[in-house]
Structure formats: C-alpha cells, structure tokens
Structure 1
Amino acid sequence: MKITPLPVGFGAEIDGVDLRQADAGVAELLRSTLLEYGMLVVRGQSFTPPEQLAASRLFGSLETFPTVRGQLQGWPEIFRVASRPQDGHVEVGRYWHSDGSFREEPTPISFWYSEVRSEQGGDTLFTDLQRAYAELRPEIRQEFEGLSTAHRNGVVHPLVLRHPKSGVPALYLNIGLTAGVLGYSPDHSRALIDAVDRHYSRDGATYRHRWLPGDVVVADNLHVAHKATPITPATRRILHRTTIRADGVIWYEGAQKQAA
C-alpha cells in the first residue's frame, strides 16, 4: 500500500489496496492515515452494497437512514446522493459542512463510493478545519475560543472543536444549518458565518475531487468539511455514502468490537 499526501496540505491518496480484502494490518494503517491526514482518496474500487458496508466498518459502526424514494431497499446504511431524484437525494450540501453536525454527538467519519460518474459537474470540495483554525489571526482565535453555535434544530456545538483523539482544535461550523452564534445578534451571527464561509474557501485551502467510477473518499468530519458543487439532471451521477456513528468510531475504546 502506497500513501501519497495530496498537494493541498491535507488528505492522502492511497494506492495498491483493495478495500474488500483489507487485513488487520492494512485496516490499522488506513485508520492511522485518516487520523493524520483527515481524508483518504482510494481509486479503482468495486463494491456491492454489502462489500461497501464491510469496507466502511473498517472505521467503525454505521448510522442508518430512512428508506425513501431513490434509496436502496434493504440497505438503510447507504445514503444515495444523486443528480436525479429517482436515483437518490438531490441538491444536497451545496455549502461547507461536516456530515451529521446537527447531531448532539456529531458524525465523525463519512465514506463515499462513486457508483455512477457524471460526465460534467458534481465535483466535491474539501477544506481542512484544523488548518482553518490555525490560520486565523491570533485575536480572532481568542474571540472564537469562547463561542458556541446553534443549529436550526437547537443542537449546540463549540465553534472551536477539539478532536476527541488528537486534541487538535478545528474551526467547526455548518454554513447552511447554523441558526446563529450564542450571545450574538442575528446580524452579528450572519457576519461571522459569512466570514467563516469565505475563510474556508480561501485561496489554496481547498481540494476539488473529480469523481471517477470506483472512487472512494473517506473523510474525518471533525478534521475536514466538504461542499457539493452544482450538477444538472441532464447528466447522471450517483454516490453511495455511509457514515460512522459517534458511539462506535475507531478512536473510541471498543469501537472495533461494535463495528464487527
């Protein structure tokens, strides 16, 4: 297995591995690499639904989702993101966010598999939340340290979130679902959210993933955020996404037993 850091300063591309056949040594290396780099890009995979679930469980136990139009019957762990409503959820996440940030215990890891590739559009952008915090001006870091944000459903998280395993601080904010900053007026909250949005997108801070068939991307949601780009129903694109539960993620004791 070969690990090549991406040139943007976070994330790593993994070559020479078939995730369907990862033994204990390979699985441990994948997990440690994800923790270090925040994101893995693995090309050339080929999964059936149960094979994707098995590969996802290398990182912990899985969340489940309601079965609605476009979702796979019998596979509630797979959340389909698509360009057409008959194929899955459309118009999803076109703003900077980490999956599951609306939960009291945020979703720690997301795993995407490219089932059907779009000929045009539908790239996904990623940005490093730890680097975003580190590159704030010192006085802004000091201000942000004491702030908390409220989602539209009332869930509150610190704006500066420390990783439960590494302890590294990250600038953690869901641009689309945050209702406001506790103690700030609506206008002040909006100004802060807009400023963070721009900061996430600053020059040199983002990685654009152009999906190919069989691509897998694994993201530590407490280390990186992502953002969908526009895609038209005129072209067909399907991603199968699985997500790891907070109570069964790899960096908690006993998580591997739960994931088995």
Structure 2
Amino acid sequence: MIAIAMKRNSVAPHPCMQDAAVSMKKGNIMNIIPLDVGFGARINNVDLARLSDNPQAQQALQKALLDYGLLVIPGPVLTPQAQIAASEVFGALEEFPPTASQIPGYPQIFRVASRATEGYTGVGRYWHSDGSFRAVPTPMSLWHLEARPDVGGDTLFTDLQEAYRSLPDDLKAQVQGLQTTHRNHVVHPLVMPHPHTGVEGLYLNVGLTDSIIGMARDETEALIASIDRHFSREGAVYRHQWKEGDFVVADNFRVAHRATPLSPLQRRVLNRTTVRGDGAFWEVEHAEVVADAKETVAG
C-alpha cells in the first residue's frame, strides 16, 4: 500500500484524489511535486513495474493526471510488457501496424528515435496533441525513454486550458465557434471542452491543420501563427529533459507538446503508447456508473 504526500504550498489535489489518500495505509509515500509552470507534476516513489497490482496507486495517478494534465514519473527502464501494463492503468491502448523498426510482438508501442533503424524520426516539431487526426481524438499519450542522448531531444509541453483562459480578449472572441480541418479532413472545434471535466481549452495541431472553416487562407495562417506564439509565450512552457527510465503521461485535451531538434549522431529511443479514443479510464468509470445504476433499477 502507498500513501500520498503533497509538497507544501502545492496545488490542492482533486477531491477524489484526497479520498484516495485518506484510504491508503502507511507505507511507501507517493510524492507529488507540482512543476513550476502552473501545470504538470513530478511523481516520485512509484513502482511502475508493479503498478498493475496496486489499485490504490492506479487511482491516485488517474486523479493526479486530471489535476495536473502531465505526469513525470522517474524510474528504471521497463520491459515492453511492463510499459504496456503501466500504460493500461490509464485506459485501453491503440495498436499500430508492424514496421521494421518497431518491437516485434508489441503493437501497442510506437517507437520514436533519432535513427530510422530504431523508430520514426523527425516527428512532431510543432505544437500538437497526438491523435488529433482522428475523428475521436487520442485522449492520452505515454512515453518511456529507453536510450538517452548526450545532447538535445528535449520535449516541450504547454497547457491548452490556460492558453485559452489567457488569450487576449480580441483573440478569445475570434476563436469562439471556429472549427479546424485536419489535412485528412477530420474536423474539430478550435475551443474544445475536456471530455471528462468540461473545462475548455484550445485544441490545435499547428503543423497539420489544413484550414479553419469559414476563414480565408491568409486569415487561417495568421490565426494559427498567433496561437502558435501564444502556446510558446514566456513562462508557459515546460521543457522536459529526458533521463533513461522516465515515464511521462500527458492528457492530450489538457496539454500539447512538441519535439526539439536532435542529431542522428545522438542515440535516442522513446517508446510511446497511446490510449484509444473510446478507451480512457474516465470512459470506463462512466460505463461502470451506468451499469450500476441499471442494476439498481432492475433490482
């Protein structure tokens, strides 16, 4: 069993997370330290290899993700099986077609690397949320660093909800009701409520958005550029400098991310898993509540 310790003067935890903390017995302390950018938290003392056997730790991490939007969990390098099991705490995982650089037998793991022989290269060097090309977007991305470069390869994160709240009044008025079209013709609202919390945030793939419905090309490009700059404004970005074994979880409706340049002379292997659009843990919770209600009525 574990207990939760919040760093003094940190952001207050989600009410459900407080309940989870109260119910835990004394033992190892899960230490939650909010990052200094207003979102995200570092989570210490989590045994990811045994997470599937600890429902209280699972609940605490799920609630922490809802609170902070981004979790940074240090630890040892995991086996593919252990990474998949830890990822499944947050929902049912997507599977990807096999390629020469992927891990045989583990279609849930999408490898991103500095060298093409070990994974996909040069991806995501613009603000985006993974799976925005899907009609039902990918709710969560999880990354686990297998091999760390000596220089470069950091990942940047920004808070989409705070980005929306902090827009200048004229820009906030402009984005209301707008819809973006991805290059594959999928349409999403530019201001999207979180599917579980209902909190509104900007939702924009800066690199792969083809158009904004009802706007001319030059107007579309100007608005995307304005939002791009706003995502990168001073004090709004968390820069994650990877260490081997890091396990990072992002709520894609709360945070966007982007890659930074990395030389192929530097070896870096990052194993990513993603939760299916219909597979998030909060979808499961909702289904269980509905099932319980039906059972109560039937009884």
Q: Which amino acid aligns with 2:230?
A: H
**Corresponding residue SS for 2:283:** coil
- Cα contact 1:60–1:256 (8 A) shared by 2: no
Q: Which amino acid aligns with 2:235?
A: G
The equivalent of 2:263 in structure 1 is: 232
Does 2:258 align with 1:205?
no
**Corresponding residue SS for 2:111:** strand
- Structure 2 counterparts to residues 83-94 of structure 1, below 5 A: 83-94=114-125
Aligned equivalents of 2:172, 2:76: Cα separation in 1: 40
Does 2:86 align with 1:55?
yes
The equivalent of 2:293 in structure 1 is: none
- Cα contact 1:96–1:225 (8 A) shared by 2: yes
- Cα contact 2:77–2:145 (8 A) shared by 1: no
The equivalent of 1:191 in structure 2 is: 222
Q: Which amino acid aligns with 1:125?
A: L
Q: Which amino acid aligns with 2:45?
A: G
Q: Which has the higher helix share?
A: 2
The equivalent of 2:245 in structure 1 is: 214
Aligned equivalents of 1:254, 1:110: Cα separation in 2: 19
- Cα contact 1:248–1:256 (8 A) shared by 2: no
Q: Which amino acid aligns with 1:133?
A: Y
Tell me by how many angstroms 1:205 deviates. 0.4
Deviation string, structure 1 residues 191-210 (Cα, Å, up to 9, x no partner): 11111110100000000001
**Corresponding residue SS for 2:102:** coil
Number of residue pairs matched by the alignment: 257
Tell me by how many angstroms 1:161 deviates. 0.4
- Cα contact 1:61–1:255 (8 A) shared by 2: no
- Cα contact 1:250–1:256 (8 A) shared by 2: no
* 1:8 pairs with one of 2, 13, 37: 37
Change (3 A) 1:119 1:256: farther
- Structure 2 counterparts to residues 157-172 of structure 1, below 5 A: 157-172=188-203
The equivalent of 1:122 in structure 2 is: 153
Change (3 A) 1:106 1:114: same
Q: Which amino acid aligns with 1:59?
A: F
Aligned equivalents of 1:101, 1:251: Cα separation in 2: 19
The equivalent of 2:211 in structure 1 is: 180
The equivalent of 1:132 in structure 2 is: 163
Change (3 A) 1:75 1:227: same
Does 2:50 align with 1:21?
yes
Aligned equivalents of 2:190, 2:287: Cα separation in 1: 29
Q: Which amino acid aligns with 2:32?
A: I
Aligned equivalents of 2:117, 2:197: Cα separation in 1: 41
Tell me by how many angstroms 1:251 deviates. 1.1
Tell me by how many angstroms 1:140 deviates. 2.1
Deviation string, structure 1 residues 93-144 (Cα, Å, up to 9, x no partner): 0000000000000000000000000111100000000000000123322221
The equivalent of 2:281 in structure 1 is: 250
The equivalent of 2:24 in structure 1 is: none
- Cα contact 2:98–2:107 (8 A) shared by 1: yes
**Corresponding residue SS for 2:282:** coil
Does 2:128 align with 1:97?
yes
Tell me by how many angstroms 1:145 deviates. 1.6
Q: Which amino acid aligns with 1:6?
A: L
Aligned equivalents of 2:161, 2:76: Cα separation in 1: 29
- Structure 2 counterparts to residues 138-157 of structure 1, below 5 A: 138-157=169-188
Does 2:105 align with 1:77?
no
Aligned equivalents of 2:129, 2:274: Cα separation in 1: 11
Unaligned stretches of 5+ residues in structure 2: 1-29, 289-299
Tell me by how many angstroms 1:256 deviates. 9.1
- Structure 2 counterparts to residues 98-113 of structure 1, below 5 A: 98-113=129-144
Identity of aligned residues (%): 54
Deviation string, structure 1 residues 46-96 (Cα, Å, up to 9, x no partner): 311111110000000000111113111111110000000001000010000
Larger radius of gyration: 2
Unaligned stretches of 5+ residues in structure 1: none
Aligned equivalents of 1:117, 1:177: Cα separation in 2: 28
TM normalised by structure 2 equals 0.84
